[in-house]
């Protein structure tokens, strides 16, 4: 049973608009969440994180929101740029990031 | 900028061959990981290590083995490659904080393995 779910395999957004990527989890012990971005033929690169003591973390164009009661987090990218086109993985940890469970990823396409 | 390297980046090999996938990091991280990822699927942890002489099996059963003789080096070996081993293999590292602070994992570029 998947503990971390990304129910949208793909998402297309127009350049300049907002991209919203969603992630749901089932394990209430998860208290630390990361988003990774992955280009083809490259390894994932860390994008942004949030711990369970916060409900929002912002870094430039990227904002992550955490709704603990709904076991849901989302990544907002504003404004979206063509270079943001990649696969985005949500990852969750119950031990301060020593071990992560990854979602299956969402492929974001930002159209010029 | 993460300094974690994997070689080879791509490998096509015949069934039955022994292969070793190399992973090295220059960040002095104690903890290292190997993940396996098939297209469109999540990353599955197959091995990890807390430090020198420590190796543990991950969530996904794997026929591969690992060793950790040096902090910076965490190679993965398949004694006899089979077509079912065709996948992307990703190495990662992180600091080991034992719950003192939050960590993220830094990933290498991956090795795409194809076994014919």
Binding-site residues on chain B for chain A (CB distance < 8 A)? 2, 4, 6, 9, 31, 35, 40-43, 45, 48, 90-92, 94, 96-97, 99-110, 112
Are the beta carbons of A84 and A110 closer than 8 angstroms?
yes
Query: How far from each other are the two terminal CA atoms of chain B, in whole angstroms?
Result: 35
What is the structure's pLDDT at B96? 73
Specify the pLDDT at position B68: 97
| CA B90 – CA A100 distance, rounded (Å) | 14
Q: Counting one residue from A and one from B, how many pairs have CB atoms under 8 Å apart? A: 66
Are A106 and A35 in contact, with CB atoms under 8 Å apart? no
Measured from the Cβ of residue A26, the count of other Cβ atoms closer than 10 Å reads 13
**Residue among A32, A40, A90, A98 with most chain B CBs within 10 A, to mutate:** A98
Taking only Cα atoms into account, the Rg of chain B, rounded to an integer number of angstroms, comes to 14
Q: Please, which residues have CB within 8 angstroms of residue B38's CB and are 6 or more apart in sequence?
A: B87, B88
Half-sphere exposure at residue B56, Cβ-oriented, CA atoms within 13 angstroms: 11
**Cα B98 to Cα A27: distance, rounded to the nearest angstrom:** 21
Query: How confident is the model over A57-76, as pLDDT tens digits?
Result: 999 999 999 999 999 999 99
Q: What is the pLDDT of residue B103?
A: 77
Tokens of B94: 């992180």
Q: What is the pLDDT of residues B8-54, one digit of tens each?
A: 999 999 999 999 999 999 999 999 999 999 887 889 999 999 999 99
What is chain A's mean pLDDT, rounded? 94
Point out the residue among B31, B107, B112 whose CB comes nearest to the CB of A44. B107
The confidence band for B1, taking pLDDT boundaries of 50, 70 and 90, is low
Interface of A with B in 17-76 (CB under 8 A): 32, 34, 36, 41-46, 49, 51
Backbone angles phi, psi at B84, to 5 degrees: -70, -15
Q: A4 vs chain B: nearest CA distance in angstroms?
A: 9
Q: In the prediction, which pLDDT does B12 show?
A: 96
Cβ distance B110 to A43 less than 8 Å, yes or no, reads yes
Tokens of A75: 């990544």
pLDDT at B97: 65
Query: Residue A85's closest CA among A107, A60, A63, A61?
Result: A107
Mean pLDDT of A30-54: 92
Q: Which residues, in sequence order, are bridge partners of residue B114?
A: B12
Q: What is the pLDDT of residues B59-86, one digit of tens each?
A: 887 889 999 999 999 999 999 999 999 9
Band the pLDDT of A96: cuts 50, 70, 90: confident
Q: In whole angstroms, what is the distance from residue B69 CA to residue A83 CA?
A: 39
Decide if B103 and A98 are in contact by the 8 Å CB cutoff: yes
The answer to whether residue A97 neighbours chain B at the CB level (below 8 Å) is yes
Going by pLDDT thresholds of 50, 70 and 90, the confidence category of residue B98 is: low
């Amino acid at each position: 049973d998947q503990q971390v779910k990304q129910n949208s395999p793909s998402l297309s957004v127009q350049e300049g608009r907002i991209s919203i990527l969603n992630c749901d989890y089932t394990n209430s012990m998860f208290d630390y969440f990361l988003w990774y971005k992955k280009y083809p033929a490259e390894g994932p690169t860390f994008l942004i994180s949030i711990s369970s003591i916060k409900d929002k973390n912002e870094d430039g164009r990227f904002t992550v929101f955490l709704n603990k009661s709904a076991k849901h987090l989302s990544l907002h990218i504003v404004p979206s740029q063509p270079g943001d086109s990649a696969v985005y993985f949500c990852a969750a940890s119950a031990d301060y990031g020593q071990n992560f469970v990854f979602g299956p990823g969402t492929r974001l396409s930002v159209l010029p | 900028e993460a300094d974690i390297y994997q070689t080879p980046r791509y490998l096509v090999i015949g069934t039955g061959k022994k292969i070793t996938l190399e992973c090295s990091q220059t960040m002095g991280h104690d903890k290292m990981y190997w993940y396996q990822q098939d297209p469109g699927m999540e990353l599955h942890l197959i091995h990890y290590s807390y430090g020198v002489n420590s190796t543990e099996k991950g969530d996904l059963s794997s026929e591969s083995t690992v060793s950790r003789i040096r902090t910076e080096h965490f190679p993965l070996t398949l004694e006899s490659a089979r077509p079912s081993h065709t996948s992307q293999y990703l190495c990662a590292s992180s600091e080991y904080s034992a719950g003192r602070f939050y960590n993220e994992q830094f990933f290498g570029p991956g090795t795409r393995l194809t076994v014919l």
